[in-house]
Structure formats: structure tokens, C-alpha cells
Chains A and B, each alone.
Chain A
């Protein structure tokens, strides 16, 4: 399994750079994803998206559907793409330490 080193920490990641286990997530990981996802500055909006994702994940074991993320944060999908250029799945979920969704999606 590939690993990522950042600010003295080591994380196991999958082929697309998602963290292997949600329990290994920390603030350093957020800064790491910021650095690779082309995000200039971590704002409160980024943190809000990450918090909503994590809260939903802890309750449900999966990421929320995009429409729920959009409604709960109050951010339109277009704005989420502005915050996370790779989008809610590949960008925001990655920063929040959630796994990729699979199936007919």
C-alpha cells in the first residue's frame, strides 16, 4: 500500500490518495490534501464541508449524497467545486478522510 509523508507524519493511502482508515485522519492530513488539491487557503467554508461530511459519516458509515451535503452546508454544488476543484467526492471526501463511494455511482 502506498504511503504519504507530510509534516513528519506518515499515512497509508489507496491508489487515488484516499486515506486507508478514517480513524487515522487528523488536521495534518487536511493540510496535506490542501497542498495536493490546488487549494490556496483553508477557509472556514472548507472546514464546514469537512465537518458535515465527517458528522454524516460517523452516523451512517458512508458519505452523504451530494444533494444532502449541499443542503446541510447551504453551498450550491458549483460553490463546492470552487472550494474543492476535484469536486465533493475526490476533493472534499478525500480531505475529510472518507472512502470513495462505489457501485452505480
Chain B
């Protein structure tokens, strides 16, 4: 694994690299360790029937491409231009105005010109021009076209897997070009040749086999939640048992598997469990599933077809259990897939009902077609109707800011609900600067399957703009907690904070909700969910 340079080194960024003197087309990509992820392992491609599995390393000279690889790409490109009018449009209409250039966190953090969204898309666009437009066919490089060679393919691969599909660039494009969609379809093309990364291919294979990215089998999934049940009992004195795979429940709950495995997401999972128990006597009838045990979808970073295949278990499990609707956990790209694709991928879910909160009677209009509601919206509604007894002073040791996860923010317009919940469960909340939040939010730098260990330098560079904004509120207001509603965020921010702003820790929103939630008959809380002493309460006796 490549050594990650020290922050002082990483922060020396030159945004004026002399790429254009020799012409960007003439300078092949150099694959730098620390920037790319390892190649997909054959067993993981074979498991889901992906083509051309092989043992390979991206720095190999020979990528073991099939003999007709150019035809495969040509056909794949043509097929996608026919199927996706957006792709055709995005290939044709860019005027290279450069409005997107400095909006990408990877360009800001690396200074690599090919990380400017306009140029990243141009890598594909140049081949499109050469192969699909009259001007490009006749004029070649003078018409902005270029031949697809192995070098070009390697360059595609290197830069398509340096984009987190966060869509910040598209927000600033006067034409509305969605460069993330170019990345998504470009990655599909690389997958036609067996060129995925293993950090994406392994979760995909796991998810197909066990229902979740981590490969957690049903008995282990149940064990993990029971471990949390014990932990919760230690803190509150109350045993909060959960239900699994219970037929006839009203609601099915699905969350990313990272929440039940990786810290600090595990505390968010405890938060969900405590909320569910709290609401039980008020009429909440909910079950977890050990089969639909993943909200995230790394298939989405592979191809639309793979995303659809992995997504299918949600409705299938809802149908099998006979629930009325689905509640979804704090996750990022999961909601992009649910909100934008699920209905047409695997719907219509006409066997489900429009979600209605059994506690408040609120009908969740935004979930009318998918029948799946976001837990933060669900909780915000509970608070609004005064259904939760909350003691925000239990979070007084936290000075909190909120990171808008790219997909719920730009993909759903999900801005107010998390803020409303946070402000009700803690007393100290501070916003980062306006150009770094809400629809302009800066990516964590590790989304879209880039959250591996071997590309740590890329992640620290891509996360720099976000970390910089966190540092600003840390210095100005003493912020010590970065909250978020995405499992990848929770997994990657601890590394990012340790690197750039070591004084700041990371939490999910429902961890803070559960800290503040006052249960009847609970013992006096002396610690938060993490077992850290609550200031002012540590010396007192339990009651």
C-alpha cells in the first residue's frame, strides 16, 4: 500500500500544471500509487457473471484485454448513446466554458487538470467525436477527436475512478451537464472489459451472495444487533429487543450494512434501535431483515443493470414479509438509487401502501411512488408533533456541524429535515460556510466506491475542501463533531478528520437523537452511547 504523504505536503497544490503546452491529448496518464484502487479480483466478477475476469494490476503494462476490445467499447458506447438521450446530449453540448473546472473537490485537492470535470468528460467526448460525429471522423484531432487506444482506455479508467459522482460540477454548468452521469456510463464501459476496482467488485459479489456488502450472514447480522442490545441495556438499563424477518409487520427497515459493522456507524444503528423501542408502545410495528440487509448499492458504481439486480431484494423482501411500507436508514447513494431509479428498476410497488407514520398519521407525500421513507424525515415529523421526549443537554459536550451528503442533498433536496432534527437534539449547532453546504455541499472525497485503503492520498486530497470548511467552524466556534446522514461518510470522515482536523469526531444523526431520547424508567445516563462520560453527570449515583 502506498504511503500517504503528510498533510503539509499534500496541501502544496499547483493548480496551474503546464498540461496544455504539449496538448492534453499527447500526455498519457501516469498511474500514481495512492490515487487508484486495486483491480477487481476474478472470483468477484465471476460470482455475478461479469465479463473477462482476470488477475490484474492497474500498473501492469498488459491489461489482458480481449482481442476485440475496441469493438466491445464501440458497441457499448453506441448502445448507451441510443438508450440514454442524456449521454448523447452531454457528449454534444459542452462548450468548454470551464464553469465546472474549479468546482470539483478532486481538482481543488489535486491540481490535476484531468480532474476538472470538463476535461474528465472530454476524455470520453474526444473518442465520441472521433467515432460518432462527422466532424471528428473527417478532421480527427483538429475536430477534437482522438483514436481509442490502450493508453486512452487506461486514462479513462484512471480518471473515471477518481470521480465520486457527487454532481457538484453539474450544479454550476449553465447547460446542466451531469458529469456524474458521464462517469457512471464511462464506468459501465470499463466493466464491459472486466476492469472494475476490487473495492467495488467485492461488495457487489458479497451483496449478491448474502444481501449486504460486507458478506454478513443472517445469524451474524442478528448477533451484531443483539450485541448492541446488550450495550444499550448497559447504558439505559432497558432491554430493547429488535424483530427480524417478522412476517406481517407494518414496516420493513433497511439500512446500510456499514451501520451494523463499522464505527462510528454502529452507534447510529444503536440510535435506530432505541428509537424503534421508544415508539413500540406508541404503535410502531417494525422489523429488520437479515436478507434485505443492505441499503447501499455498489452495483450503482458498476452498471445500471447491476444496480437493479442488487436493489431488487428490497421490494422482494417487503413483499415476502407482507409489510405496508419501507423505512430507510441514514445513507447517501442508497437514496439516489431509491429516489431516482427504484420505481422503474423494480417497481411499481403496487403491493405496498403509501407510507403513513403510525405515530402521527402524517402521510409522506414524497414517498408516494417508491413507498420508502427516509428515517430522518420520519423522526423530524415525530419531533414536529411533539412525540419524543428529548433532553438535548445530554449532547452539550458536542459542538456540532452538519455535512450534507451529496446524494440526499443534490439528488433529493433533503436539506431541512436533518437540520431540524439536530437542532432539537443538541444545543450547539453551527453551519459551515454557505458555499460548502446544502446543494453546494463538498463531497467527502471517498464516495462512489473510492473508500478503499490503497487510494488514501486521493481521498485526503478529494476531502480537502470539506475538511477545510470543517476546520473553519472548528476554529471559529470550537466545533468538535461532524454529523452526517451517510454510511460512507461515517466510514471515511474519521480518516479525513484525523488527517486534516484531528480535533473533530464523526457521528450519525440518530446517535445524537438516541443520546437525547428520554425513556420512561431508564437509569440515569452517565455516559453517551459511546460510553464516554457525560460532563456534569459522571460523578452522580445511578437512580
The contact of A101 among B38, B214, B217, B256, by CB within 8 Å, is B214
> CB distance B258 to A67 under 8 Å?
no
Residue B460 CB within 8 A of the other chain: no
Residue A36 CB within 8 A of the other chain: no
Of all chain B residues, the one with the shortest Cβ separation from A89 is B453
On chain B, the number of residues with a Cβ less than 8 Å from chain A's Cβ atoms is 42
> CB distance A65 to B215 under 8 Å?
no
Query: Which one of A59, A60, A61, A67 has the greatest number of beta carbons of chain B within 10 Å?
Result: A67
> CB distance A1 to B55 under 8 Å?
yes
Q: Which residues of B contact A14 (CB under 8 A)?
A: 38, 41
Q: Which residues of A contact B480 (CB under 8 A)?
A: none
Residue B220 CB within 8 A of the other chain: yes
Known A-B contacts A102-B199, A102-B202, A103-B203; the reply to A60 vs B265 at CB < 8 A is no
Which B residues from 33 to 55 make CB contacts under 8 A with A?
38, 41, 55
Which A residues from 89 to 105 make CB contacts under 8 A with B?
90, 100-105
Q: Mark A59-71, 1 if CB is under 8 A from B, else 0.
A: 1111001111001
The contact of B491 among A62, A65, A104, by CB within 8 Å, is A104
Q: Give bound CA distance, A105 to B199, whole Å.
A: 11
Q: Give bound CA distance, A82 to B491, whole Å.
A: 22
> CB distance A16 to B453 under 8 Å?
yes
Which B residues from 423 to 468 make CB contacts under 8 A with A?
451-454
> CB distance B220 to A102 under 8 Å?
no
Q: Give bound CA distance, A66 to B264, whole Å.
A: 11
Q: Give bound CA distance, A1 to B213, whole Å.
A: 24
> CB distance B214 to A62 under 8 Å?
yes
The contact of B1 among A16, A62, A104, by CB within 8 Å, is A16
Residue A27 CB within 8 A of the other chain: no
Known A-B contacts A16-B454, A67-B227; the reply to A103 vs B220 at CB < 8 A is no
Q: Which residues of A contact B266 (CB under 8 A)?
A: 65, 67
Known A-B contacts A15-B57, A66-B263; the reply to A103 vs B212 at CB < 8 A is yes
Chain B residues with a Cβ under 8 A of chain A: 1, 38, 41, 55, 57, 198-199, 202-203, 206, 212-217, 219-220, 223-224, 227, 231, 256-258, 260-263, 265-266, 296, 298, 331, 451-454, 487-488, 490-491
Q: Can you list 7 A-B contacts with CB-CB less than 8 angstroms, sorted by A residue number?
A: A62-B220, A65-B266, A102-B213, A102-B214, A103-B261, A104-B331, A104-B491
What 8 additional pairs, Cβ within 8 angstroms, besides A100-B453, A103-B213, A104-B213? A15-B454, A59-B220, A61-B217, A101-B261, A103-B261, A103-B298, A105-B261, A105-B262
Chain A residues with a Cβ under 8 A of chain B: 1, 14-16, 59-62, 65-68, 71, 90, 100-105
